Amino acid sequence: MRNPITSDSAVCGGKKHQRGNRGAERWLHGSLAALGRSFARLGAPLTVRRGRAEDVLPAVAEETGAAAVHWNRCDDAGGMARDQAIAERLHGSGLAVRRFKAVPLFDPGALLYSNGAPCRRFSAFWKQMATMTLGSADPGAACPMRAGPAPME
pLDDT for 101-122, tens place per residue?
776 667 667 777 778 887 778 7
The pLDDT score that the predictor gives to residue 12 is 44
The pLDDT score that the predictor gives to residue 130 is 77
Which residues in the chain are classed under CATH 3.40.50.620? 3-100
Residues 153 and 140: their CA atoms lie apart, in Å, by 22
Residues 101 and 75: their CA atoms lie apart, in Å, by 9
What residues in the chain have per-residue pLDDT under 50? 8-17, 136-153
The pLDDT score that the predictor gives to residue 108 is 65
74, 102 Cβ separation under 8 angstroms:
yes
The pLDDT score that the predictor gives to residue 69 is 92
The pLDDT score that the predictor gives to residue 3 is 53
Assigned fold of 3-100: Rossmann fold (3.40.50)
The pLDDT score that the predictor gives to residue 67 is 93
The pLDDT score that the predictor gives to residue 133 is 63
